[in-house]
Amino acid sequence: MQPPGPPPAYAPANGDFTFVSSADAEDLSGSIAAPDVKLNLGGGGEFIKESTATTFLRQRGYGWLLEVEDEDPEDNKPLLEELDIDLKDIYYKIRCVLMPMPSLGFNRQVVRDNPDFWGPLAVVLFFSMISLYGQFRVVSWIITIWIFGSLTIFLLARVLGGEVAYGQVLGVIGYSLLPLIVIAPVLLVVGSFEMVSTLIKLFGVFWAAYSAASLLVGEEFKTKKPLLIYPIFLLYIYFLSLYTGV
């Protein structure tokens, strides 16, 4: 019986490593080619070859330095949209206040049901500017009366059982200053005619008070309507007195 010989040499399959002895390895030489790394930009399926510096950073674990954040579409909104300013909505509300007659077909309830802040503020500031006449303290008074006068009307409406929010009252009272702004240039022309000037002032106050009251005084007040209409009327008389200086 013959002694067992050396185990048969391992015959590697295609694609496997070939094991060689250390003596044979001394005569081997060669080089490893750098990997052809390509970067997908995600645009149209195209790939570009990375630079040496990019490959170096990725191999060292600093690939995060090369990451670029995608732009958020919300960051590219127009300024007016960022500030929640809708010029078309403000223009429509202005027409609703200046033309309060139901026969004109305007949906006037949008002034109350969809309140905004920038429109009434612009109206109040414009009324303040035309009320200056060299007395700058009037501006702060008008803004103060707008804020606290609206708060008084709001509290009174809630006490009387009305379902109204402070923001709604603030918007309606602010927008309803527009009739006083309309009569302001007329008063400059007829200021020397006392009787005509008084009639125009009364017309402007009734116009503003009617616009505000028709929006704020709903059917829920029933017989208590005069209790809310009267302070609204007095509020616009005070606004007019700040304008005329009386």
Is 215 within 8 Å of 209 (Cβ atoms)? Answer: no
Average pLDDT over residues 15-39: 54
In sequence order, the β-bridge partners of residue 47 are: 40
Residue 39 CA, chain-centre distance (Å), reads: 39
Report d(CA 88, CA 81) in Å as an integer: 12
pLDDT the model gives residue 148: 93
Joined tokens for residue 206: 């009734």
**Among the ranges given (63-67, 163-167, 218-222), the one the predictor scored with the smallest mean pLDDT:** 63-67
pLDDT the model gives residue 223: 72
Report d(CA 32, CA 69) in Å as an integer: 35
Report d(CA 177, CA 181) in Å as an integer: 7
pLDDT tens-digit profile of 174-186? 999 999 988 888 8
pLDDT tens-digit profile of 195-216? 888 899 999 999 999 888 888 8
pLDDT the model gives residue 136: 57
Report d(CA 73, CA 71) in Å as an integer: 6
Query: Taking the complete model, does pTM exceed 0.75, yes or no?
Result: no
- Output the CA angle 76-81-86, nearest 5 degrees: 155
72 pLDDT more than 60: no
pLDDT tens-digit profile of 127-170? 888 876 645 567 778 888 899 999 999 999 888 877 888 998 99
pLDDT the model gives residue 236: 92
Q: What percent of the chain has pLDDT over 70?
A: 63
The rounded radius of gyration (Å) of the Cα atoms in the chain is: 40
Joined tokens for residue 21: 């002895």
- Output the CA angle 16-22-26, nearest 5 degrees: 100
